[in-house]
Structure 1
Protein backbone atom coordinates (compact mmCIF):
# COMPACT_ATOMS: atom_id res chain seq x y z
CA UNK A 1 0.00 0.00 0.00
CA UNK A 2 1.68 3.22 -1.19
CA UNK A 3 0.03 5.94 0.86
CA UNK A 4 2.11 8.62 -0.91
CA UNK A 5 -0.34 8.33 -3.82
CA UNK A 6 -3.20 9.65 -1.70
CA UNK A 7 -3.89 12.82 0.26
CA UNK A 8 -7.05 11.77 2.09
CA UNK A 9 -9.04 8.78 3.29
CA UNK A 10 -12.84 8.86 3.50
CA UNK A 11 -14.18 6.24 5.90
CA UNK A 12 -17.66 4.87 6.22
CA UNK A 13 -18.44 4.42 9.92
CA UNK A 14 -20.74 1.51 10.77
CA UNK A 15 -18.96 -1.74 9.98
CA UNK A 16 -15.74 0.01 8.98
CA UNK A 17 -14.58 1.90 12.08
CA UNK A 18 -17.06 0.59 14.63
CA UNK A 19 -19.02 -2.69 14.86
CA UNK A 20 -22.26 -0.73 15.06
CA UNK A 21 -23.37 -2.35 11.80
CA UNK A 22 -24.29 -5.38 13.91
CA UNK A 23 -26.42 -3.18 16.17
CA UNK A 24 -28.06 -1.64 13.10
CA UNK A 25 -28.75 -5.12 11.72
CA UNK A 26 -30.45 -6.24 14.94
CA UNK A 27 -32.48 -3.05 15.16
CA UNK A 28 -33.64 -3.37 11.52
CA UNK A 29 -34.50 -7.05 12.02
CA UNK A 30 -36.64 -6.45 15.09
CA UNK A 31 -38.45 -3.49 13.54
CA UNK A 32 -39.20 -5.13 10.18
CA UNK A 33 -40.15 -8.55 11.58
CA UNK A 34 -42.49 -7.00 14.13
CA UNK A 35 -44.03 -4.95 11.31
CA UNK A 36 -44.41 -7.97 8.99
CA UNK A 37 -45.90 -10.13 11.75
CA UNK A 38 -48.46 -7.45 12.59
CA UNK A 39 -49.54 -7.43 8.94
CA UNK A 40 -49.84 -11.22 8.81
CA UNK A 41 -46.90 -11.65 6.43
CA UNK A 42 -45.11 -14.95 7.03
CA UNK A 43 -41.95 -14.37 4.98
CA UNK A 44 -39.49 -12.92 7.51
CA UNK A 45 -36.92 -10.18 7.11
CA UNK A 46 -33.44 -11.76 7.03
CA UNK A 47 -29.80 -10.72 7.23
CA UNK A 48 -29.63 -11.11 3.45
CA UNK A 49 -32.39 -8.53 3.13
CA UNK A 50 -30.18 -6.17 5.12
CA UNK A 51 -27.31 -6.56 2.65
CA UNK A 52 -29.60 -6.44 -0.39
CA UNK A 53 -31.86 -3.52 0.48
CA UNK A 54 -30.71 -1.60 3.55
CA UNK A 55 -26.95 -1.69 4.12
CA UNK A 56 -25.24 1.67 3.61
CA UNK A 57 -28.32 3.54 2.44
CA UNK A 58 -29.99 6.52 4.13
CA UNK A 59 -32.48 5.25 6.68
CA UNK A 60 -35.71 6.04 4.84
CA UNK A 61 -34.29 4.82 1.52
CA UNK A 62 -33.57 1.49 3.20
CA UNK A 63 -37.17 1.27 4.41
CA UNK A 64 -38.50 2.03 0.92
CA UNK A 65 -36.17 -0.46 -0.72
CA UNK A 66 -37.11 -3.34 1.57
CA UNK A 67 -40.84 -2.63 1.44
CA UNK A 68 -40.68 -2.55 -2.36
CA UNK A 69 -39.00 -5.98 -2.33
CA UNK A 70 -42.09 -7.34 -0.54
CA UNK A 71 -44.58 -5.41 -2.68
CA UNK A 72 -45.66 -3.27 0.27
CA UNK A 73 -46.63 0.35 -0.27
CA UNK A 74 -46.79 2.85 2.59
CA UNK A 75 -47.09 6.63 2.58
CA UNK A 76 -43.75 8.39 3.02
CA UNK A 77 -44.94 10.50 5.90
CA UNK A 78 -42.54 13.07 7.35
CA UNK A 79 -39.26 12.74 9.29
CA UNK A 80 -41.09 14.11 12.32
CA UNK A 81 -43.54 11.17 12.31
CA UNK A 82 -43.76 9.32 15.62
CA UNK A 83 -42.22 5.86 15.57
CA UNK A 84 -45.67 4.34 16.09
CA UNK A 85 -46.82 5.47 12.61
CA UNK A 86 -46.90 2.93 9.80
CA UNK A 87 -45.24 5.28 7.31
CA UNK A 88 -41.81 5.05 5.71
CA UNK A 89 -40.53 7.69 8.10
CA UNK A 90 -42.35 6.18 11.07
CA UNK A 91 -40.71 2.79 10.47
CA UNK A 92 -37.32 4.42 10.03
CA UNK A 93 -37.75 6.32 13.29
CA UNK A 94 -38.89 3.12 15.03
CA UNK A 95 -35.67 1.43 13.99
CA UNK A 96 -33.63 4.42 15.14
CA UNK A 97 -35.22 4.31 18.60
CA UNK A 98 -34.00 0.74 19.02
CA UNK A 99 -30.49 1.61 17.80
CA UNK A 100 -30.18 4.67 20.06
CA UNK A 101 -31.21 2.66 23.12
CA UNK A 102 -28.51 0.04 22.52
CA UNK A 103 -25.89 2.74 21.94
CA UNK A 104 -26.89 4.51 25.15
CA UNK A 105 -26.89 1.42 27.34
CA UNK A 106 -24.02 -0.60 25.87
CA UNK A 107 -21.70 1.94 24.19
CA UNK A 108 -19.43 0.92 21.33
CA UNK A 109 -15.78 -0.10 20.93
CA UNK A 110 -14.07 0.54 17.58
CA UNK A 111 -12.34 -2.24 15.66
CA UNK A 112 -8.71 -2.38 16.89
CA UNK A 113 -7.38 -2.72 13.32
CA UNK A 114 -9.33 0.35 12.25
CA UNK A 115 -7.92 2.36 15.14
CA UNK A 116 -4.40 1.28 14.18
CA UNK A 117 -4.89 2.47 10.60
CA UNK A 118 -6.46 5.77 11.69
CA UNK A 119 -3.61 6.47 14.08
CA UNK A 120 -1.04 5.60 11.40
CA UNK A 121 -2.72 7.96 8.93
CA UNK A 122 -2.91 10.75 11.50
CA UNK A 123 0.83 10.33 12.11
CA UNK A 124 1.47 10.58 8.35
CA UNK A 125 -0.59 13.75 8.11
CA UNK A 126 -3.20 12.20 5.81
CA UNK A 127 -6.50 14.09 5.80
CA UNK A 128 -9.42 12.11 7.21
CA UNK A 129 -13.20 12.26 6.96
CA UNK A 130 -16.16 10.09 7.88
CA UNK A 131 -18.93 9.70 5.32
CA UNK A 132 -21.93 7.92 6.79
CA UNK A 133 -25.58 7.61 5.88
CA UNK A 134 -26.41 7.42 9.58
CA UNK A 135 -27.73 10.43 11.46
CA UNK A 136 -26.19 8.87 14.59
CA UNK A 137 -22.62 9.19 13.31
CA UNK A 138 -21.56 12.08 15.62
CA UNK A 139 -22.69 10.27 18.77
CA UNK A 140 -21.13 6.97 17.62
CA UNK A 141 -17.77 8.66 16.96
CA UNK A 142 -17.89 10.44 20.31
CA UNK A 143 -18.76 7.22 22.14
CA UNK A 144 -15.91 5.42 20.36
CA UNK A 145 -13.45 8.18 21.36
CA UNK A 146 -12.41 9.00 17.78
CA UNK A 147 -14.24 12.22 16.93
CA UNK A 148 -11.06 14.33 17.26
CA UNK A 149 -9.44 12.59 14.28
CA UNK A 150 -12.12 13.62 11.80
CA UNK A 151 -12.38 17.34 11.03
CA UNK A 152 -14.91 16.55 8.31
CA UNK A 153 -18.04 14.49 8.97
CA UNK A 154 -20.64 14.14 6.25
CA UNK A 155 -23.51 12.18 7.78
CA UNK A 156 -27.22 11.79 7.16
CA UNK A 157 -27.92 15.15 8.78
CA UNK A 158 -25.46 16.99 6.52
CA UNK A 159 -26.81 15.19 3.46
CA UNK A 160 -30.36 16.27 4.31
CA UNK A 161 -29.33 19.88 4.96
CA UNK A 162 -27.40 20.15 1.69
CA UNK A 163 -29.75 18.07 -0.43
CA UNK A 164 -27.09 15.44 -1.20
CA UNK A 165 -28.23 12.12 -2.64
CA UNK A 166 -27.26 9.19 -0.45
CA UNK A 167 -25.22 6.15 -1.35
CA UNK A 168 -24.96 4.54 -3.93
CA UNK A 169 -24.77 8.06 -5.38
CA UNK A 170 -21.28 9.55 -4.84
CA UNK A 171 -22.46 12.99 -3.66
CA UNK A 172 -21.64 12.59 0.04
CA UNK A 173 -18.13 11.30 -0.65
CA UNK A 174 -17.51 14.11 -3.14
CA UNK A 175 -18.73 16.63 -0.56
CA UNK A 176 -16.24 15.29 2.00
CA UNK A 177 -13.38 15.49 -0.53
CA UNK A 178 -14.34 19.08 -1.33
CA UNK A 179 -14.44 20.02 2.36
CA UNK A 180 -10.99 18.48 2.83
CA UNK A 181 -9.69 20.32 -0.25
CA UNK A 182 -8.57 17.21 -2.15
CA UNK A 183 -9.29 15.80 -5.59
CA UNK A 184 -11.29 12.58 -5.76
CA UNK A 185 -8.46 10.93 -7.67
CA UNK A 186 -6.16 11.57 -4.69
CA UNK A 187 -8.58 10.16 -2.10
CA UNK A 188 -9.34 6.66 -0.81
CA UNK A 189 -12.85 5.46 0.00
CA UNK A 190 -13.19 2.71 2.63
CA UNK A 191 -16.56 0.94 2.74
CA UNK A 192 -18.14 -2.31 3.93
CA UNK A 193 -21.45 -1.94 2.05
CA UNK A 194 -21.90 -2.60 -1.66
CA UNK A 195 -23.89 0.64 -1.96
CA UNK A 196 -20.95 2.58 -0.49
CA UNK A 197 -18.46 0.83 -2.74
CA UNK A 198 -20.67 1.71 -5.73
CA UNK A 199 -20.64 5.34 -4.57
CA UNK A 200 -16.84 5.39 -4.36
CA UNK A 201 -16.53 3.82 -7.79
CA UNK A 202 -19.03 6.24 -9.35
CA UNK A 203 -17.20 9.21 -7.81
CA UNK A 204 -13.92 8.45 -9.57
CA UNK A 205 -11.92 8.05 -6.37
CA UNK A 206 -8.32 6.94 -6.63
CA UNK A 207 -8.82 3.79 -4.58
CA UNK A 208 -11.94 2.08 -3.28
CA UNK A 209 -11.31 -0.43 -0.49
CA UNK A 210 -14.01 -2.89 0.47
CA UNK A 211 -14.00 -4.22 4.03
CA UNK A 212 -15.65 -7.62 4.14
CA UNK A 213 -17.72 -7.72 7.31
CA UNK A 214 -20.34 -10.00 5.77
CA UNK A 215 -21.24 -8.60 2.36
CA UNK A 216 -18.74 -10.97 0.73
CA UNK A 217 -15.55 -10.34 -1.20
CA UNK A 218 -17.10 -11.15 -4.57
CA UNK A 219 -20.02 -8.79 -4.01
CA UNK A 220 -17.70 -5.94 -3.00
CA UNK A 221 -15.48 -6.51 -6.03
CA UNK A 222 -18.50 -6.59 -8.35
CA UNK A 223 -19.68 -3.32 -6.83
CA UNK A 224 -16.39 -1.67 -7.83
CA UNK A 225 -13.88 -2.21 -5.02
CA UNK A 226 -10.27 -2.16 -6.20
CA UNK A 227 -9.27 -4.41 -3.33
CA UNK A 228 -10.97 -6.13 -0.39
CA UNK A 229 -9.63 -6.68 3.13
CA UNK A 230 -11.10 -8.31 6.21
CA UNK A 231 -9.37 -5.92 8.64
CA UNK A 232 -8.06 -2.40 8.07
CA UNK A 233 -4.77 -3.25 9.76
CA UNK A 234 -3.94 -5.03 6.49
CA UNK A 235 -3.52 -1.60 4.89
CA UNK A 236 -0.73 -0.50 7.22
Structure 2
Protein backbone atom coordinates (compact mmCIF):
# COMPACT_ATOMS: atom_id res chain seq x y z
CA UNK A 1 0.00 0.00 0.00
CA UNK A 2 1.18 3.55 -0.56
CA UNK A 3 3.00 5.05 2.36
CA UNK A 4 2.35 8.44 3.91
CA UNK A 5 3.36 10.17 7.15
CA UNK A 6 1.29 8.37 9.74
CA UNK A 7 -0.34 9.57 12.92
CA UNK A 8 0.30 7.87 16.24
CA UNK A 9 -3.30 6.78 16.67
CA UNK A 10 -3.22 4.24 13.88
CA UNK A 11 -0.22 3.43 11.71
CA UNK A 12 -2.57 2.25 8.95
CA UNK A 13 -4.28 5.63 8.54
CA UNK A 14 -2.65 8.06 6.10
CA UNK A 15 -3.71 11.69 6.28
CA UNK A 16 -3.93 12.03 2.50
CA UNK A 17 -7.31 11.66 0.78
CA UNK A 18 -6.17 8.85 -1.55
CA UNK A 19 -5.18 5.33 -0.58
CA UNK A 20 -3.70 2.82 -3.02
CA UNK A 21 -4.30 -0.88 -2.42
CA UNK A 22 -4.24 -4.19 -4.27
CA UNK A 23 -7.90 -5.00 -3.65
CA UNK A 24 -11.08 -3.96 -1.85
CA UNK A 25 -12.88 -6.30 0.57
CA UNK A 26 -16.43 -5.46 1.60
CA UNK A 27 -18.76 -6.73 4.28
CA UNK A 28 -22.37 -7.19 3.15
CA UNK A 29 -25.04 -6.57 5.83
CA UNK A 30 -24.89 -2.96 6.97
CA UNK A 31 -22.07 -2.20 4.54
CA UNK A 32 -23.42 -2.99 1.06
CA UNK A 33 -27.00 -3.92 1.99
CA UNK A 34 -29.19 -2.23 4.59
CA UNK A 35 -30.88 -5.27 6.13
CA UNK A 36 -31.34 -3.81 9.61
CA UNK A 37 -35.13 -4.13 9.77
CA UNK A 38 -35.11 -7.78 8.67
CA UNK A 39 -32.20 -8.75 10.92
CA UNK A 40 -33.69 -7.10 14.00
CA UNK A 41 -37.10 -8.68 13.35
CA UNK A 42 -35.58 -12.16 13.11
CA UNK A 43 -33.52 -11.71 16.26
CA UNK A 44 -36.57 -10.27 18.01
CA UNK A 45 -38.40 -13.52 17.33
CA UNK A 46 -35.44 -15.49 18.63
CA UNK A 47 -35.28 -13.41 21.83
CA UNK A 48 -39.00 -13.82 22.47
CA UNK A 49 -38.95 -17.56 21.82
CA UNK A 50 -36.03 -18.22 24.14
CA UNK A 51 -36.64 -15.69 26.87
CA UNK A 52 -33.55 -13.57 26.33
CA UNK A 53 -33.21 -9.78 26.19
CA UNK A 54 -33.36 -8.45 22.63
CA UNK A 55 -30.99 -5.56 23.30
CA UNK A 56 -28.43 -8.02 24.64
CA UNK A 57 -28.81 -10.19 21.55
CA UNK A 58 -28.46 -7.25 19.19
CA UNK A 59 -25.40 -6.00 21.05
CA UNK A 60 -23.49 -9.15 20.03
CA UNK A 61 -25.19 -10.29 16.81
CA UNK A 62 -24.22 -7.60 14.29
CA UNK A 63 -21.51 -8.78 11.95
CA UNK A 64 -21.28 -12.29 13.38
CA UNK A 65 -22.33 -15.68 12.05
CA UNK A 66 -25.79 -16.80 13.16
CA UNK A 67 -24.48 -19.94 14.84
CA UNK A 68 -21.94 -17.96 16.85
CA UNK A 69 -24.61 -15.61 18.21
CA UNK A 70 -27.11 -18.37 18.95
CA UNK A 71 -24.46 -20.37 20.79
CA UNK A 72 -23.95 -17.43 23.15
CA UNK A 73 -27.50 -17.93 24.44
CA UNK A 74 -28.21 -21.62 23.87
CA UNK A 75 -25.41 -23.68 25.40
CA UNK A 76 -26.60 -27.03 24.02
CA UNK A 77 -24.71 -27.43 20.70
CA UNK A 78 -27.44 -29.48 19.01
CA UNK A 79 -30.17 -27.00 19.94
CA UNK A 80 -27.99 -24.11 18.82
CA UNK A 81 -27.43 -25.69 15.41
CA UNK A 82 -31.15 -26.40 14.95
CA UNK A 83 -32.20 -22.88 15.96
CA UNK A 84 -29.49 -21.26 13.83
CA UNK A 85 -30.67 -23.23 10.81
CA UNK A 86 -34.25 -22.09 11.47
CA UNK A 87 -33.16 -18.45 11.64
CA UNK A 88 -31.19 -18.77 8.41
CA UNK A 89 -34.15 -20.38 6.65
CA UNK A 90 -36.43 -17.55 7.82
CA UNK A 91 -34.00 -14.91 6.54
CA UNK A 92 -33.89 -16.47 3.08
CA UNK A 93 -37.54 -15.59 2.42
CA UNK A 94 -37.48 -12.12 3.99
CA UNK A 95 -36.27 -9.86 1.23
CA UNK A 96 -38.80 -7.04 1.53
CA UNK A 97 -37.36 -3.86 2.95
CA UNK A 98 -33.79 -4.53 1.88
CA UNK A 99 -32.03 -1.62 0.19
CA UNK A 100 -28.57 -1.02 -1.21
CA UNK A 101 -26.37 1.30 0.81
CA UNK A 102 -26.18 4.58 -1.17
CA UNK A 103 -23.28 4.58 -3.61
CA UNK A 104 -22.62 0.84 -3.31
CA UNK A 105 -23.73 0.10 -6.85
CA UNK A 106 -21.44 2.73 -8.37
CA UNK A 107 -18.47 1.64 -6.27
CA UNK A 108 -18.82 -2.00 -7.27
CA UNK A 109 -19.21 -1.00 -10.92
CA UNK A 110 -15.90 0.86 -10.73
CA UNK A 111 -13.96 -2.16 -9.43
CA UNK A 112 -12.82 -5.01 -11.69
CA UNK A 113 -13.85 -8.45 -10.49
CA UNK A 114 -10.23 -9.41 -9.86
CA UNK A 115 -9.86 -6.56 -7.36
CA UNK A 116 -12.94 -6.94 -5.16
CA UNK A 117 -14.46 -9.49 -2.78
CA UNK A 118 -17.37 -9.72 -0.38
CA UNK A 119 -16.63 -11.14 3.06
CA UNK A 120 -19.81 -11.81 5.01
CA UNK A 121 -21.01 -13.58 8.14
CA UNK A 122 -24.13 -14.63 6.25
CA UNK A 123 -24.47 -18.01 4.61
CA UNK A 124 -23.63 -17.93 0.89
CA UNK A 125 -27.20 -18.47 -0.33
CA UNK A 126 -28.47 -15.64 1.83
CA UNK A 127 -25.66 -13.32 0.75
CA UNK A 128 -26.38 -13.94 -2.94
CA UNK A 129 -30.11 -13.45 -2.42
CA UNK A 130 -29.68 -10.18 -0.57
CA UNK A 131 -27.18 -8.74 -3.03
CA UNK A 132 -29.38 -9.76 -5.96
CA UNK A 133 -32.53 -8.42 -4.28
CA UNK A 134 -31.06 -4.91 -4.09
CA UNK A 135 -29.54 -5.01 -7.57
CA UNK A 136 -25.89 -5.41 -6.57
CA UNK A 137 -23.52 -7.76 -8.40
CA UNK A 138 -21.97 -10.75 -6.64
CA UNK A 139 -18.20 -10.73 -7.05
CA UNK A 140 -16.57 -14.01 -8.02
CA UNK A 141 -14.81 -14.07 -4.66
CA UNK A 142 -17.47 -14.20 -1.96
CA UNK A 143 -16.37 -15.60 1.38
CA UNK A 144 -19.41 -16.62 3.41
CA UNK A 145 -20.09 -18.05 6.87
CA UNK A 146 -19.60 -21.65 5.83
CA UNK A 147 -16.23 -20.94 4.21
CA UNK A 148 -14.30 -20.32 7.43
CA UNK A 149 -13.67 -22.28 10.60
CA UNK A 150 -13.81 -19.13 12.71
CA UNK A 151 -16.14 -16.25 11.95
CA UNK A 152 -15.64 -12.56 12.63
CA UNK A 153 -14.02 -11.13 14.79
CA UNK A 154 -11.45 -13.72 13.68
CA UNK A 155 -9.65 -12.48 10.54
CA UNK A 156 -10.11 -15.76 8.65
CA UNK A 157 -12.65 -14.47 6.13
CA UNK A 158 -10.57 -11.49 5.07
CA UNK A 159 -7.41 -13.58 4.88
CA UNK A 160 -9.21 -16.14 2.72
CA UNK A 161 -10.62 -13.49 0.40
CA UNK A 162 -7.25 -11.81 -0.07
CA UNK A 163 -5.64 -15.16 -0.80
CA UNK A 164 -8.33 -15.98 -3.37
CA UNK A 165 -7.61 -12.66 -5.09
CA UNK A 166 -3.88 -13.40 -4.99
CA UNK A 167 -2.95 -10.40 -2.84
CA UNK A 168 -1.75 -9.92 0.76
CA UNK A 169 -4.45 -8.97 3.25
CA UNK A 170 -2.33 -6.08 4.49
CA UNK A 171 -2.43 -4.62 0.98
CA UNK A 172 -6.24 -4.50 0.97
CA UNK A 173 -8.83 -1.96 2.03
CA UNK A 174 -11.74 -3.32 4.05
CA UNK A 175 -15.08 -1.56 4.43
CA UNK A 176 -17.03 -2.68 7.51
CA UNK A 177 -19.86 -1.39 9.69
CA UNK A 178 -19.93 -3.64 12.77
CA UNK A 179 -17.63 -4.27 15.71
CA UNK A 180 -16.91 -7.91 14.91
CA UNK A 181 -16.04 -7.13 11.30
CA UNK A 182 -13.91 -4.12 12.18
CA UNK A 183 -11.92 -6.18 14.66
CA UNK A 184 -11.50 -8.91 12.04
CA UNK A 185 -10.28 -6.44 9.43
CA UNK A 186 -7.75 -4.91 11.77
CA UNK A 187 -6.55 -8.34 12.85
CA UNK A 188 -6.00 -9.17 9.17
CA UNK A 189 -3.77 -6.10 8.88
CA UNK A 190 -5.98 -4.38 6.31
CA UNK A 191 -6.52 -0.67 5.87
CA UNK A 192 -9.91 -0.46 7.55
CA UNK A 193 -12.72 2.00 6.83
CA UNK A 194 -15.82 2.31 9.02
CA UNK A 195 -19.10 2.55 7.12
CA UNK A 196 -21.82 4.30 9.13
CA UNK A 197 -21.99 5.42 12.71
CA UNK A 198 -20.48 2.60 14.77
CA UNK A 199 -18.57 3.82 17.81
CA UNK A 200 -16.14 1.84 19.96
CA UNK A 201 -12.47 1.90 20.94
CA UNK A 202 -11.83 -0.41 17.97
CA UNK A 203 -12.36 2.41 15.47
CA UNK A 204 -9.87 4.84 17.02
CA UNK A 205 -7.80 6.33 14.21
CA UNK A 206 -9.81 4.71 11.40
CA UNK A 207 -11.28 6.49 8.42
CA UNK A 208 -15.08 6.72 8.33
CA UNK A 209 -17.63 7.22 5.56
CA UNK A 210 -21.37 7.70 5.96
CA UNK A 211 -21.93 5.62 2.83
CA UNK A 212 -20.26 4.95 -0.51
CA UNK A 213 -21.29 8.25 -2.06
CA UNK A 214 -18.20 9.53 -0.25
CA UNK A 215 -15.90 7.00 -1.92
CA UNK A 216 -14.42 6.99 -5.42
CA UNK A 217 -12.32 4.21 -6.91
CA UNK A 218 -10.17 4.08 -10.01
CA UNK A 219 -7.83 1.42 -11.31
CA UNK A 220 -4.23 2.20 -12.18
CA UNK A 221 -2.49 -0.88 -13.54
CA UNK A 222 -2.93 -3.60 -10.98
CA UNK A 223 -3.71 -1.15 -8.16
CA UNK A 224 -6.93 0.39 -6.88
CA UNK A 225 -6.84 4.04 -5.87
CA UNK A 226 -9.53 4.99 -3.36
CA UNK A 227 -10.46 8.61 -2.77
CA UNK A 228 -11.84 9.03 0.75
CA UNK A 229 -13.10 12.02 2.70
1:97 aligns with 2:94: no
1:29-85 Cα deviation digits (max 9, x unpaired): 12222221xxxxxx6312x631x21111111111122x1xxxxx53111xxxxxxxx
Maintained 8 Å contact 1:7/1:126 = no
Change over 3 Å in CA distance of 1:63–1:227 after alignment to 2: same
In 2: Cα distance, 1:94 partner to 1:235 partner: 37
- Shift >6 Å, 4+ stretches: none
* Higher share of residues assigned strand: 2
In 1: Cα distance, 2:98 partner to 2:54 partner: 25
Change over 3 Å in CA distance of 1:137–1:194 after alignment to 2: same
Q: Which runs of 5+ in 2 are unaligned?
A: 1-16, 217-229
1:235 to 199, 204, 215: 215
- Matched positions, count: 198
Maintained 8 Å contact 1:195/1:223 = no
1:55 aligns with 2:62: yes
1:145 to 118, 126, 135: 135
- Secondary structure of the structure 1 residue equivalent to 2:116: strand
Structure 1 residue 95: Cα displacement: 1.9
What root-mean-square deviation, in Å, do the aligned CA atoms of Structure 1 and Structure 2 show? Answer: 2.2
2:143 counterpart residue number: 154
Q: Which runs of 5+ in 1 are unaligned?
A: 37-42, 68-72, 78-86
Change over 3 Å in CA distance of 1:60–1:131 after alignment to 2: same
2:163 counterpart residue number: 178
1:165 counterpart residue number: 150
Structure 1 residue 130: Cα displacement: 0.3
2:24 counterpart residue number: 9
* Higher share of residues assigned helix: 1
In 1: Cα distance, 2:141 partner to 2:42 partner: 27
2:180 to 195, 204, 217: 195
1:35 aligns with 2:43: no
- Secondary structure of the structure 2 residue equivalent to 1:129: strand
2:196 to 212, 215, 218: 212
In 2: Cα distance, 1:12 partner to 1:151 partner: 14
2:115 counterpart residue number: 127
In 1: Cα distance, 2:75 partner to 2:170 partner: 41
